[in-house]
Amino acid sequence: MPGGSLNLTCVAVGSPMPYVKWIMGVVELTKEDEMPIGRNVLEVTNIKESANYTCVAISSLGMIEATAQVTVKALPKPPTSLIVMETTATSVTLTWDSGNPE
């Protein structure tokens, strides 16, 4: 949902151990001089739109990558046609229609 957050973890092993970086689209999210070895956790906060996040592992033997697709969905609309079906001293039973068209 918009404004949400998540952590994406990328682990890569090999000999030699690879450096690991994150890219969103074409934007590098990990600075070249701050690439950790073997594991990198990307903290994504206040997410506003859907995006692809790509983990890239790099060593002297080559490069490999994996992509995570993050999809942002809107909050549901409030329910409509709210009807009180039954009430007791300690409970109430309601029915309603979804505010979202199917």
CB 49 within 8 A of CB 8: no
| Phi and psi angles of residue 54, each rounded to the nearest 5 degrees, phi first | -115, 125
Model confidence at 7: pLDDT above 70:
yes
pLDDT band at residue 1 under the 50/70/90 scheme: confident
Rounded CA-CA distance 66/52 in Å is 10
Q: Is the pLDDT of residue 21 over 90?
A: yes
- Asked if pLDDT for residue 48 goes beyond 80, the answer is yes
The structure's pTM equals: 0.72
Q: Where are the domains of the chain?
A: 6-70
In CATH terms, the superfamily for domain 6-70 is: Immunoglobulins (2.60.40.10)
Q: State pLDDT tens for residues 56-78.
A: 999 999 999 999 999 998 877 88
**CA quadruple 69, 35, 9, 5: dihedral sign:** negative
Q: What is the DSSP letter of 92?
A: E
